[in-house]
Amino acid sequence: MPNLTLYLANGSCAFVPHAVLLHFGIPHTIVPMKFGAEGIESVDGTISHADYLKIHHWGSVPSLDVDGEIITEGVAILNYISSLVPGANLFTNDDGIGRARVAEWLNWLSGTLHGAGFGMMVRPRRFTDDPAAVEHVQGKGKDLVGKCFTRIDTRLKDRDFAVGDALTVADFYLYIFSRWGKELGFDMEADYPNYVRLVGRLESEEGISKAIKAENLEFLYL
């Protein structure tokens, strides 16, 4: 097994690879990061944002060090982790449509929901240099997140998992985004019952439960 070091900020999208590593008992080291004045830096102060830019070219989390080789972007990291537990079928045991559906979920969740929707809500100045437009951008982001949640809820009707009949990496992503929605004021239980039914069950899954505790987060659905 290679030496793995995961750089993460508690409750960020890095929660997903963290939870997957814990779920399968894959040995790894965690470097806790935080959002500082200049950008992401280590919690203990040993890695400045400038230092971290030498590790991750964009200075964001997560990043995974694999025996000195750095992998960035959550989906790429999950692809690598899945290679360490091939029998787990993290991208489904179906090499055809099922695998394509997992990729479809991951691309849409990371691009549309995370990058565009949550991006506009939480980081509006990435989208405008006009201070007067910030509130408008945040509103557009909130609207997009709500539409995404509605689509997720519809797709999860009568389903126990995002794809197929077993846990995949898509489910881990759905969990963290539901947390963000709840933390940002969306009424998840009232408006997205199918979504909450899934993520409520996921909180008792070993990896997600352990990651919640390790990152000092609260259980939101149990």
pLDDT tens digits, residue range 154-201? 999 999 999 999 999 999 999 999 999 999 999 999 999 999 999 999
| 18 found inside a domain | yes
| 9 found inside a domain | yes
Whether 115 and 58 map to the same domain: the answer is no
| 186 found inside a domain | yes
Number of domains in the chain: 2
| 34 found inside a domain | yes
**Mean pLDDT (whole number) for 10-14:** 97
**CATH code for the domain of 48:** 3.40.30.10
Whether 103 and 193 map to the same domain: the answer is yes
d(CA 175, CA 117): 16
Inter-residue contact 200 to 194 (CB < 8 Å): no
d(CA 156, CA 197): 9
**CATH code for the domain of 177:** 1.20.1050.10
Domain extent at residue 64: 4-88
For residue 88, pLDDT beyond 90: no
Inter-residue contact 135 to 125 (CB < 8 Å): no
157: DSSP letter: T
Residue 88: count of CB within 10 angstroms of its CB:
17
| Amino acid 159: pLDDT | 95
Model pTM? 0.94
Whether 37 and 132 map to the same domain: the answer is no
pLDDT tens digits, residue range 94-141? 778 999 999 999 999 999 999 999 999 999 999 999 999 999 999 999
d(CA 15, CA 176): 7
For residue 86, pLDDT beyond 90: no
For residue 61 the two structure tokens come to 């989390």
Which one, of 100, 99, 198, 109, lies nearest residue 157 by Cα?
198
Strand order in the sheet with 69-72: 40-42, 29-35, 4-9, 63-66, 69-72
| 215 found inside a domain | no
Whether 161 and 104 map to the same domain: the answer is yes
For residue 113 the two structure tokens come to 């929901």
